[in-house]
Amino acid sequence: MAILAECPVCHIKQSASNRLCDCGEDLVKAKKSKRVRYWINYRLPGGKQKRESVGFSIEEAKDADGKRRSQKRENRIFDIKPDAKMSFNELTEWYLNLESVKALARYYILKINLNSFNQVFGNNIVNTLKPVDLENYQAKRKAQGQADSYIDQQIAMARAMVNKAFDNDIVSGDTIKIFKRVKKLLKGDSNARDRVLSSDEFNRLMEALPSHIRAVVATGYYAGMRKGEVLNLTWSHIDMKSRIIKLEASETKDREARKIPICDGLYDILVSIPKAIHDDHVFLFKGKPIKDFRTALRRACRDAGIPYGRGTKDGFVFHDTRHCFNTNMRRSGVPESVIMKITGHSTREMFLRYDTVDSLDIRKAVDQMEGFLKSVDQNVDQVAPKEKEG
């Protein structure tokens, strides 16, 4: 068993007696300013090595080390719960630095949601969380006007982090139980949306949007791609000659590779975008990848006379472009199986959530029925005289 000191610059864990880190950091000064985090290192039965963060005090580290030595002598080493000393801020730092997590298409959204969660629980020790704490969190966020779906998303992403930590023996099963006991605010498909832009609305919106955001929204509308997939799109994904956008499995929410055809409307927009030398991202603003455009979209919707926002009646948000794509593809006669392949919907149930049947479809259905009835009447009129002659 040993006490380790983590360099605040390079984060290498080393002997607590070291005065200078290999990176050049003066550890003596860093310890005095409470910038060095201490860890205790020990082995579990079976030989598996374990490291546990114990804070920024060498005294606390020595106490924790002594406690673990005592537990090991008494054969109570399994009483150790790693999350007894770790805060949610520390757990989040570990989680977001995992290469497998960084590669997620939703990484940017993940950071936003965990930041919201940590605004309340960041300094809390992980294993001190109770179900009532999460229930109070739900009530607090609701009172602030946040949507049920967004609150559920925050807790779901915190739960995913805790599950990952449990798989790596960082938190105990008791912490997972806390998240499982809290019910979602949103039930079933109550968050399903049916907002589809008419052709006129889409044209008005395009005219009102600034050029760099116009291309982003048009890609969602013409390709049915999710927001993260659009913003992370690079020129290496696009084959302009074959008119195909290729997404790798690691870049999609459902973890399946997709090929998305580029229609004429989207092709004309893509060819008009200049390629940057320093960055391969398709959508840039002032030389940097676009991260968020809600303000620009909100302003453009206002100027175009289109309601905006999830909480507004008939309000439009960017994700509705996916509904537009699904619905327009279906109306044009494309088979469901082909649409699902393009959009990445693995089940028909999920596909139907994005396929909107509105007044236009209902009117068309009635017109088709009326046409059928007229054709039947005409056939009857033609047959009747012949029957009389006979």
| Measured distance CA(342)–CA(222) in Å, rounded | 11
b vs e for 20-57, b when ≥16 Cβ sit within 10 Å of the residue's Cβ?
Answer: ebeeebebeebbeeeebbbbbebeeeeeeebebbbbbe
| Measured distance CA(70)–CA(64) in Å, rounded | 10
| Measured distance CA(122)–CA(114) in Å, rounded | 9
Return the pLDDT at 362. Answer: 44
Q: Do domains 88-181 and 199-357 have the same CATH topology?
A: no
Question: pLDDT grade, residue 354 (50/70/90)?
Answer: very low
CATH architecture of 199-357: Orthogonal Bundle (1.10)
CB atoms within 10 A of CB 128: 13
Question: pLDDT grade, residue 385 (50/70/90)?
Answer: low
Q: Do the Cβ atoms of 329 and 339 come closer than 8 Å?
A: yes
Gyration radius (Cα) of the chain, Å: 29
| Burial (CB count <10 Å: 0-12, 13-18, 19+), residue 387 | exposed
- Please choose, from the candidates 162, 169, 209, the residue with its C-alpha nearest in 3D space to the C-alpha of residue 321: 209
Q: Do the Cβ atoms of 182 and 155 come closer than 8 Å?
A: yes
Residue range 29-44: mean pLDDT, rounded: 86
Strands 288-289 and 244-247: unpaired
Q: At residue 298, does pLDDT exceed 80?
A: yes
| Burial (CB count <10 Å: 0-12, 13-18, 19+), residue 12 | middle
What digits encode the pLDDT tens for the residues 232-289? 999 999 999 988 888 887 777 767 788 888 888 889 999 999 998 899 999 999 889 9
Residue boundaries of the structural domains of the chain: 2-80, 88-181, 199-357, 363-390
Q: What is the pTM assigned to this prediction?
A: 0.50
| Measured distance CA(278)–CA(349) in Å, rounded | 42
Return the pLDDT at 226. Answer: 86
Close Cβ partners of 97 (under 8 Å, ≥ 6 residues apart):
none
Question: pLDDT grade, residue 43 (50/70/90)?
Answer: confident
What digits encode the pLDDT tens for the residues 76-108? 554 455 556 788 999 999 999 999 888 886 788
CATH match of 88-181 with 1.10.150: yes
What digits encode the pLDDT tens for the residues 134-179? 999 999 998 988 888 889 889 999 999 999 988 887 887 778 888 9
The maximal CA–CA distance of the chain, rounded, in angstroms, is 115
Residue range 338-345: mean pLDDT, rounded: 70
